[in-house]
A = this chain, B = another copy of it.
Amino acid sequence: MRIALAQINSTLGSFESNAEKIIKYTADAKNRRCELVVFPEMALFGYRTSDLLERKSVVVQQLTQIGKIQKKIPEGITLIFGAVTKNPSKRGKPYFNSAVVLSKNSKPKTFNKQLLPTYDVFDEYRHLEHGETNKNIIKIKNKKILITVCEDIWAWEMPGTRNPYPANPLTNIKGKFDLVVNISASPFSLNKEKDRLFVTRQTAKQFKAPMVYVNTVGAQDELVFDGGSFALDKAGNIISQCVRFAEDLNVADFSERAGGFRSQKLEQTETIRQALVLGIKDFANKTGLSRAHLGLSGGIDSAVVACLAVDALGPSKVTTFALPGPYSATQSFDLAKKLAKEIHVELKEIEIRSAYETIVRQLENTFDSLEFGTVHENIQSRLRGLYLMAFTNYKNSLLLSTSNKDEYAAGYTTLYGDMCGGLAPIGDLLKGQVYDLANLYNKQTEIIPREIIERVPTAELRPNQKDQDTLPPYDDLDKAVRNLVQKKLNAKTKSEKWLLQALMKSEFKRWQAPPILRVTEHAFGRGRNFPIAHKAFF
Chain A residues engaging chain B, CB cutoff 8 angstroms: 11-15, 17, 46, 48, 50-52, 54-58, 61, 89-94, 118-119, 123, 125-127, 129, 157, 162-167, 219-221, 282-283, 286-287, 348-351, 354-355, 358-359, 362-363, 366-367, 370, 373-375, 378-379, 382-383, 385-387, 389-391, 393-394, 415-416, 420, 422, 488, 490, 508, 511-515, 526, 528-538
Contact = CB atoms under 8 A, between A and B. Distances in A.
B362 A351 contact: yes
A282 B533 contact: yes
Given A358-B354, A362-B351, A367-B394, A530 B379 contact: no
A220 B382 contact: no
Given A167-B91, A220-B533, A508 B422 contact: yes
A52 B536 contact: yes
5 contacts: A13-B531, A221-B532, A351-B362, A354-B358, A382-B385
A220 B257 CA distance: 59
Contact of A92 (B13, B56, B166, B416): B166
A491 B164 CA distance: 39
Given A55-B536, A56-B490, A378-B389, 4 more contacts: A286-B535, A370-B394, A508-B514, A511-B514
Contacts of A286: 533-535
B526 A529 contact: yes
A454 to B, nearest CB: 31
Q: How many copies does the complex hold?
A: 2
Contacts of A90: 162
A531 B283 CA distance: 11
Contacts of A363: 350, 387, 390, 394
B535 A11 contact: yes
Contacts of A386: 359, 379, 382-383, 386, 416
Contact of A393 (B126, B163, B375): B375
A260 to B, nearest CB: 30
B55 A488 contact: yes
Contacts of A56: 490
A282 B534 CA distance: 10
A521 to B, nearest CB: 12
Given A92-B166, A362-B351, A416-B420, A534 B390 contact: no
User: Interface centre among A89, A379, A386, A422, by most B CB within 10 Å?
Assistant: A386
B374 A379 contact: no
A254 to B, nearest CB: 33
A390 B394 contact: no
B348 A355 contact: no
Nearest to A509: B422
Contacts of A12: 531, 533-536
A13 B529 CA distance: 15
A222 B428 CA distance: 26
Contact of A534 (B118, B127, B220, B367): B220
Nearest to A527: B51
A387 B129 CA distance: 48
Contacts of A532: 221, 283, 287, 515
